[in-house]
Chains A and B, each alone.
Chain A
C-alpha cells in the first residue's frame, strides 16, 4: 500500500502533468499528420527522455502513445484516409458520417470512444498485472527463457503473412542484439575493434532507423515513383452535427464490447491494434439489429473501431509489466526506455521497482485525463495539420530523427542510423516483419541471460530440465506452435 501511495505521489506532480500533456499533444499531432504516426513519435522521443526522471520519461512516452489513439481517426473521418493503419476500420462509417454533415459528431465519437476504451483497458492492466507478476515471480531462468521463446514464436507467426520471414526477422533481431561485449566473459562479439560497438548497437539508432526512417524513406521513394503528392479532398467541419450525451449513452454498449475485445487482443503479444479494430467492428455489426446500416455512416461503427484499437494500448503493457515481454512495438519501445533508465524489466519488476510501476500507473491516469481534455480543443488544430504537405513534414521529421540519435549516441549513431534505415526500407518492401525484428532485438539479451543462468544452475546436467515441468511444457508449446504455424505457412506459401 505504501508503495502505491509513493508511486502515485511521484506521478502527480506539475512537471509530470506538463510532460504528459506535451506527450499527448505530440502523439495526437503525429498520428493526425500524414506520413508519420504515434509510433514514429515514441521512437524519436526516446533519446530526448534521457535527461528526465524515469517516471517523467515514461509519462511523456505514455502520453504520446495515448495521444496517438485519437489523431489517426481525424484523417480517416475527414479524408477517408487513415492516419495510422489501426484507423482503417474507422473510415468505413466515419467518412460516410462526415459526408452526411456529421463530421463533428464522428470526430467526437472517435474521441470519446478512444478515451473510454483506453481507460477500460488501463483498469484491467492495473487489476491484472500485479497478481500475474506475483505468479511470474515463481518462475526461474528456465521458465523465463521458455516464455520468451513462446512469445517470439507467437509474434513471428502472427505478425506478417509468412512465418519463415517472421522467424528470419526475429533471429536477425536477436543476432544483432548480441553485438558488443559478452556479458559473461567480456569477450568481444562482432565489435570489429570499434570502441563505440563495445556497448552493443544502440537501441535508439536501431529503432529510429528501422521504425521511423525506414518508413519515411519508403514513403518518399513511392511518392517519387508514383508522381507528385495529391491534396485529398477534405470534408468541412463547419455546420456539422454536435455530439450529445444521448449519443454517448447509445454507443456505450458498443464501446464496452469493443474495449473488451481490444483488451484481450492487446494482452496477447503480436496481434496488434489494427486486428482489434476490425474484430471490434465485426462484433458490433454482428450484434446490431440492423447490420445493413454499417458502412453507411453508423455511429456505432466509428465507436466500435476506435474503442477496440485504443483498448490495445493499456493491455499491451500486461505482458510487459508481468513478464517483461512487450505486446507490440510501442510496448517494446517503452521496454527500451525502461532499460535506458536502468530499470531491469521482468517478473521481478513489481517486487523491486513497485514504486516506479505505480508511478507509471499514475502517469497513465494523467494521460487519460489529458487525452480527454486536450482532445476537446485540438480537433481544429488537426485539420490544419492535415493541410501541411508531406514534402515539408517528412524532411523535418528526418532531421528530428538524426538529431535524436546524435543526442543519444554521438555521430557514430547517426552513421548506424543510415544502415538501419536502409534495412528498415528493405524489410518493408520485401514484407519482412519489422515488429518481430524489434521485439527480437529487445528480448535477445534477456533470452540469452535466462539461458546462460539456466546452464549455470543446471551445471551441464540436461536432467535438470526434468525438474522444471513448467519450462518443459512451455518449450513443448513453442515447438508445437512453431510446427503448426510452419505447416500453415508452408500450405499457404
Chain B
C-alpha cells in the first residue's frame, strides 16, 4: 500500500469519527449549559467540525490531488501484528499489576518486553526485570514513601 492510499484511508476514518462525534457523542455526552454565556458544547462542536472538514480535505487531496507520496507505506500486516502483540503485552502487564500488585506486574512487564525484543537469555530476562522492579519499588515505596499498588 502506498502512503497516499494510507493517508486517504486515514482521512476517511478521521471524517467518520468526526461525524460520529458531531451527531452522537456531543449531543449525548456533553451537557447543554444554562442557556446564557458560552454553552459547554460550543468548543467540542467547533473542534469536531474542524476535524471532520480537515479529514475530508485530507481524503480529497489524496484522491483528487497529488497529495502524499507514492512511496510504499511502512504500515503492513506484519507490523500491525507486532503492534497488537506489544499493546497486548502492555495491557496484560497492567492487568497483572492491578490484580497481583506492583512486583508481579512490573516483572511481567519488563520480562515480556525483553522477550518481545528478542532477548533469549532467561537468566538475563529474569534478573533485569526483578532487579529493576525491586529498585523502583524500594525507591518509591520505601525511600520516598509514595504507595504503589
Interface residues of A (CB under 8 A from B): 51, 162, 164-165, 167-168, 171-172, 174-175, 178, 182, 184-185, 187-192, 213, 217, 220-225, 228-229, 390-392, 394-396, 398-400, 402-403, 406-407, 411, 414-415, 418, 421-422, 425, 429-430, 444, 448, 451-452, 455-456, 490, 492-493
Contacts and interface: CB of A to CB of B under 8 A. Distances in A.
Contacts of B116: 220, 224
A213 B113 CA distance: 12
Contacts of B79: 221, 225
Contact of B140 (A165, A189, A398, A407): A407
Given A175-B47, A182-B31, A406-B148, A418 B75 contact: no
Contacts of B29: 188-192
B74 A190 contact: no
Contacts of A448: 43
B2 interface: no
Interface string B10-35: 10001000000000011001111110
A71 B10 CA distance: 36
B136 interface: yes
A395 B43 contact: no
Interface in B115-149: 116-119, 124, 128-129, 132-133, 136, 140, 144, 146, 148-149
B10 A430 contact: yes
Given A221-B79, A407-B146, A411-B149, A168 B37 contact: no
A22 B42 CA distance: 45
B146 A493 contact: no
Contacts of A217: 83, 86-87
B18 to A, nearest CB: 9
11 contacts: A168-B14, A175-B44, A178-B47, A190-B25, A394-B117, A399-B132, A399-B136, A422-B87, A451-B38, A490-B65, A490-B67
Contacts of B91: 418
B83 A399 contact: no
A162 B8 CA distance: 14
A150 B98 CA distance: 44
Given A220-B117, A415-B94, A167 B54 contact: yes
Contacts of B104: none
A490 B62 CA distance: 10
B86 A184 contact: no
Contact of A398 (B25, B75, B110): B110
A474 to B, nearest CB: 18
A220 B81 CA distance: 12
B114 A392 contact: yes
A418 B86 contact: no
B110 A399 contact: yes
A395 B140 contact: no
B48 A175 contact: yes
Given A190-B44, A421-B87, A400 B136 contact: yes
- The 9 closest A-B CB pairs, nearest first, are A187-B31, A493-B67, A395-B113, A182-B40, A175-B47, A391-B117, A395-B110, A171-B50, A391-B119
Nearest to A176: B47
Contact of A178 (B37, B43, B146): B43
Candidate in A400, A414, A444 with the most chain B CB atoms within 10 angstroms:
A414
